[in-house]
């Protein structure tokens, strides 16, 4: 195992054990998206608050494997405070990463998200990693409609 894999594994376990932005927003405060990944048994409830085109708050509750939960933690951390456009762009970049592609737009700071890039090598786990991002995409789409 390379030291990079080792570093990535440590970042993933850190988010799994100490999830960022864990919780739920009041119904009046934001919208909630519930999604699950039956192939692994992961479930997520993502709360988003979108104001004036900015994701002002993001929280999640969920149960599942270390990949799905750490991905949700990293995602909320990455999109909080960002314009909706940028959050969507990050979701696209993440989807590219999961397909083993290098992101076209390298101006985005992926931060901890990069630690999940190794998941691309394990097709069965990709759905675990993308669950939170799918919830994000649904959430911002709903927010844009209301
Ligand atoms: Zn999973």
Per-residue confidence (pLDDT) for residue 111, from 0 to 100? 85
Of 106, 78, 80, the C-alpha closest to 93 is 106
**Total count of residues recorded for the chain:** 146
Per-residue confidence (pLDDT) for residue 109, from 0 to 100? 77
Q: What does the pLDDT average to over 8-29?
A: 96
CATH of the domain at 47: 3.90.1010.10
Per-residue confidence (pLDDT) for residue 140, from 0 to 100? 94
Spatial distance between the Cα atoms of 120 and 146, rounded to a whole number of angstroms: 35
Does the pLDDT of residue 25 top 70, yes or no? yes
Spatial distance between the Cα atoms of 31 and 48, rounded to a whole number of angstroms: 5
Spatial distance between the Cα atoms of 70 and 19, rounded to a whole number of angstroms: 7
Per-residue confidence (pLDDT) for residue 104, from 0 to 100? 73
Ligand 1 centroid – CA 66 distance (Å): 7
Per-residue confidence (pLDDT) for residue 146, from 0 to 100? 63
pTM over 0.85: yes
Ligand 1 centroid – CA 95 distance (Å): 16
Ligand 1 centroid – CA 101 distance (Å): 21
Ligand 1 centroid – CA 136 distance (Å): 17
Q: Give the DSSP H/E element, type plus range, for residue 59.
A: strand 54-63
Per-residue confidence (pLDDT) for residue 110, from 0 to 100? 84
Band the pLDDT of 34: cuts 50, 70, 90: very high
Domain count, the chain: 1
Per residue, the 3-state secondary structure of 11-44, as one string, reads: HHHHHHHCCCCECCCCCCCCEEEEEEECCCCEEE
pLDDT digits (tens, 9 = 90+) for 83-124: 999 999 999 999 999 999 877 777 777 889 999 999 999 999
Ligand 1 centroid – CA 131 distance (Å): 9
Band the pLDDT of 145: cuts 50, 70, 90: confident
Relative to beta strand 31-37, strand 42-51 is antiparallel
Q: What letter does residue 109 receive in the DSSP assignment?
A: -
Band the pLDDT of 66: cuts 50, 70, 90: very high
**Which residue segment(s) compose the domain that 27 sits in?**
3-145
Q: What does the pLDDT average to over 48-71?
A: 97
Tokens of 41: 């048994």
Give the highest mean pLDDT range of 60-74, 94-108, 132-146.
60-74
Of 83, 39, 82, 84, the C-alpha closest to 64 is 39
Ligand 1 centroid – CA 36 distance (Å): 10
């Amino acid at each position: 195992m390379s030291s990079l894999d080792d570093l990535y594994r440590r970042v993933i376990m850190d988010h799994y054990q100490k999830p960022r932005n864990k919780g739920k927003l009041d119904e009046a405060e934001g919208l909630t998206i519930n999604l699950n990944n039956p192939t692994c048994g992961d479930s997520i409830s993502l709360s988003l608050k979108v104001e004036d085109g900015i994701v002002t708050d993001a929280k999640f509750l969920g149960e599942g494997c270390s990949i799905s939960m750490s991905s949700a933690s990293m995602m909320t951390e990455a999109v909080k405070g960002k314009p909706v456009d940028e959050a969507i762009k990050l979701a696209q970049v993440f989807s590219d990463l999961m397909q083993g592609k290098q992101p076209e737009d390298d101006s985005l700071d992926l931060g901890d998200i990069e630690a999940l890039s190794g998941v691309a090598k394990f097709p069965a786990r990709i759905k675990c990693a993308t669950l939170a991002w799918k919830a994000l995409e649904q959430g911002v789409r709903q927010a844009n409609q209301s």
